[in-house]
Amino acid sequence: MNKVSKTKQKKSPFISPENIYADTHVGLVRDHNEDSFVYYTNLPSSQCLAALADGIGGHESGDIASNLCLQMLASTFRKLKKCHKWKSGDWGGALKDRIIKANDVIFGLNEKYEIQHPMGTTIVAGVFLEDSVVIAHAGDSRCYRVRKGELKRLTEDHSFVAELVKKNIINEEEAQFHPFAHIISRSVGPLDNMEPELSTFDKKPGDRYMFCSDGLTNHVDDGKIKKMLSEAETPAAAVKKLLHTALQGGGEDNVTVLCVFA
């Protein structure tokens, strides 16, 4: 009898639709949801967009800003989806340009209508390529990665308390309960001439990425995030578990979670 040799299949670099999932919840205190999310896979190429935004600026205006920002981002991604030969630097430039344009549009609306409490939004967005992921962010919405059981936060908050932590004035635990924890130092819309922070990371098979608004991290610590991301069988299972845990912890804000399994 001839022996049949078995070759180990190489994991595809593509992010297929079943490997990305997101959901949002108004929480247990707020009466409307100012968070937004979008994801867009571009099979058969390896490009994938994942983004979420957390609106700020008062009742019934933050949701306008977060939706507008993500609509502009998704529209650009769809137009550029045929750019198969683009490298991470090209996509980083595209993300930066589009977020700056969104800032100009929202800032212009604030000026035109003389909005007393200018609307704006945080943003955290990632473009997944064959062997890298490009992340742009502004504000305190975050991106995490679990690789081989280790959790790494890929973004640093743009906030008043984050600056205090960086200067060793307060620690992480004190920052969580600081009276000015809600003050954002960078966001899309309220101020002119804003630029997002750009980062590029390598992407490996088995990586698990999570994008979230602060409605999650205000109630779920890094240890729990690591455990739930590592143990979930699917992105959908991870999202549902993380949302449920945030609501159990108090649900004081809108909470949005988006997971991508590479």
Residues 255 and 25 sit within 8 Å (Cβ to Cβ): yes
Q: What is the pLDDT of residues 182-193, one digit of tens each?
A: 789 999 999 999
Q: Can you tell me whether residue 170 is helix, strand or coil?
A: coil
245-161-155 Cα angle (round to 5): 65
How far apart are alpha carbons 193 and 191 in whole angstroms?
7
- Phi first, then psi: give them for residue 54, nearest 5 degrees: -120, 105
Phi (first) and psi of residue 91, to 5 degrees: -70, -35
CA 83 from chain centre, in angstroms, equals: 23
Is pLDDT larger for residue 58 or for residue 8? 58
Nearest to 241 by CA among 225, 252, 254: 225
pLDDT at 2 over 60: no
pTM of the predicted model, to two decimals? 0.92
Question: pLDDT tens-digit profile of 68-117?
Answer: 999 999 998 888 866 777 889 999 999 999 999 999 999 999 999 998 88
**CATH architecture for the domain at 34-153+186-253:** 4-Layer Sandwich (3.60)
Q: Could you report the per-residue pLDDT of 115-169, keeping only the tens digit for each?
A: 888 999 999 999 999 999 999 999 999 999 999 999 999 999 998 887 887 777 8
What is the average pLDDT score of the chain?
90
- Domain extent listing, the chain: 34-153+186-253
* Dist CA 162 CA 185 (whole Å): 9
**Omega into 190 within 30° of 0, i.e. cis?**
no
Q: Is the pLDDT of residue 7 over 60?
A: no
